[in-house]
């Protein structure tokens, strides 16, 4: 009887921790599927927060939460794959690139799914997974790097911004089926966005351009991740 009560208390504690993790970090472990796929679900929503906190009214994703979580995905024997849900307008470039680089470096299966949109620095985050999906109504916006706060109007400042922009376009090209030249063309397009340069791509367009792998929803993303985990398991068993 005491053992049953202890088990109940343990389950309740785990559920409390699960709910707190969802609330604080937008992540949860998915491990109740038929074939027992152990998947980490990670949501990246709102603005990507960097070294400075965004305003209290703005929904944000904090990179200091994500980096340890991604390290756990790589190191854990329990987690077999990562599913990333994206609905972000962008944010801090350095923070976004650091998250994208870390996702890209994971050895385990990773799939991303763009829901509402994945704009600006959200582009590298979407393509950082080994396979990417976008819903039909989802959008990607590619535009030049912008400066927040004080900007010193000298050649060195402009060169630094261009180098940062080059880092982004190189990452996008390396992790998608688009060339860096084509990305730069879309980035500097003056006809697409009002009062700005850049390009908005909807679901089918993003796939046609080669930025995203496939149009699909949650079931498609999960099925693909399951397939990738099956392949990963087979390779792992051969190497043992």
Are the C-beta atoms of 109 and 92 separated by less than 8 Å?
no
Residues tagged active-site: 120, 143
Helix axes 63-75, 93-104, angle to 10 degrees: 10
User: How big is the chain by its Cα radius of gyration, in Å?
Assistant: 20
| Percentages (nearest 5) of helix, strand, coil residues in the chain | 45, 20, 30
For the record, the structure tokens of 172 come out as 């996008």
What the block records as the tokens of 26 is 């937008």
Question: Under 8 Å CB-to-CB from 168, ≥6 apart: which residues?
Answer: 93, 97, 121, 123, 124, 145
What is the spatial distance between Cα 134 and Cα 101, in angstroms, rounded to a whole number?
20
């Amino acid at each position: 009887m005491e053992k049953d009560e202890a088990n109940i208390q343990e389950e309740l504690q785990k559920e409390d921790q699960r709910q707190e993790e969802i609330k604080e970090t937008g992540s949860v472990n998915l491990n109740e599927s038929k074939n027992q796929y152990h998947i980490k679900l990670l949501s990246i929503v709102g603005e990507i927060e960097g070294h400075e906190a965004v305003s209290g009214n703005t929904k944000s994703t904090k990179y200091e939460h994500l980096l340890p979580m991604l390290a756990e995905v790589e190191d854990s024997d329990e987690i077999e794959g990562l599913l990333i849900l994206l609905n972000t307008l962008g944010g801090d470039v350095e923070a976004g690139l650091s998250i994208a680089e870390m996702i890209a470096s994971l050895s385990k299966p990773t799939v991303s799914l763009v829901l509402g949109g994945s704009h600006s620095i959200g582009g590298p985050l979407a393509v950082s997974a080994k396979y990417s999906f976008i819903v039909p109504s989802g959008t990607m916006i590619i535009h030049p790097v912008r400066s927040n706060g004080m900007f010193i109007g000298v050649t060195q400042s402009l060169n630094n911004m261009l180098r940062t922009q080059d880092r982004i376009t190189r990452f996008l090209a390396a992790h998608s089926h688009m060339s860096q030249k084509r990305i730069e063309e879309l980035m500097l397009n003056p006809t697409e966005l009002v009062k700005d340069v850049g390009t908005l791509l909807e679901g089918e367009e993003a796939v046609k351009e080669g930025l995203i792998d496939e149009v699909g929803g949650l079931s498609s993303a999960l099925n693909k991740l399951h397939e990738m985990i099956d392949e990963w398991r087979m390779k792992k068993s051969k190497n043992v």
